[in-house]
Amino acid sequence: MAVAFQLENKLDSARLYVDRSLQLAIEKDTTERQILAGKIQTAAILSDSKSLDSALGYAREAYFLAKRIDTPGIPFICLKLYDIYEKIGDLAMQKKYLFEGFHRSTSPKHKTVFATNPYYDAVRYENLGALLSKKGSFKEGLQYQLKGMHINKANI
């Protein structure tokens, strides 16, 4: 239900369900796999709710738990961490988790996602900046273009 409500953008309802399921997992799950799933889902819902500090806490807990019990799940968690750090604006941490996810992933499709993610963001910001500049919003356009350039420089 948490996922369904998250997809419908009913984040308060999603949070209630994910909190309940995580609590149940903490009480009953001996493998810790359901706890891991609950933490990463909680992080996703909190990230969508713009509670980025809390989302980061849950995602990092999931990351360290996965390192202990479920290393094949780490690339997915790296992508979630990248997402949160992208919303925060921490380019160095975005890069760290993209590269780790790329190196740990065994799927060619996932490797492509990790490899192209920063370039997609850079192109998006550069294009948005050019569009805003063309419409006369030079200061705002420059901000986006500089952000795109910064992402490109960090990945060289």
The pLDDT value given to residue 115 = 77
Rounded to an integer, the average pLDDT of 100-115 is 86
The pLDDT value given to residue 42 = 96
The pLDDT value given to residue 154 = 67
Q: Which of 63-67, 89-93, 150-154 has the highest mean pLDDT?
A: 63-67
The pLDDT value given to residue 155 = 60
The pLDDT value given to residue 156 = 52
User: pLDDT by residue (tens digit) across 18-62?
Assistant: 999 999 999 999 999 999 999 999 999 999 999 999 999 999 999
The angle at the Cα of 97, spanning 69 to 22, to the nearest 5 degrees, equals 45
Prediction pTM value: 0.76
b or e along 126-141 (b: 16 or more beta carbons within 10 Å of the residue's beta carbon)? bebbeebbeeeeeeeb
State yes or no: pLDDT of 128 exceeds 70.
yes
Rounded to an integer, the average pLDDT of 97-115 is 87
Contact in structure between 67 and 88 (CB atoms under 8 Å): no
Query: What share of residues in the chain are helix, strand, coil (percent, to 5)?
Result: 85, 0, 15
Q: Which of 43-52, 76-85, 112-121 has the lowest mean pLDDT?
A: 112-121
Q: Which residues contact 140 (CB under 8 A, 6 or more apart)?
A: 132
Q: Which residues contact 2 (CB under 8 A, 6 or more apart)?
A: 14, 15, 17, 18, 21, 41, 45
Residue 71's pLDDT band (boundaries 50, 70, 90)? confident
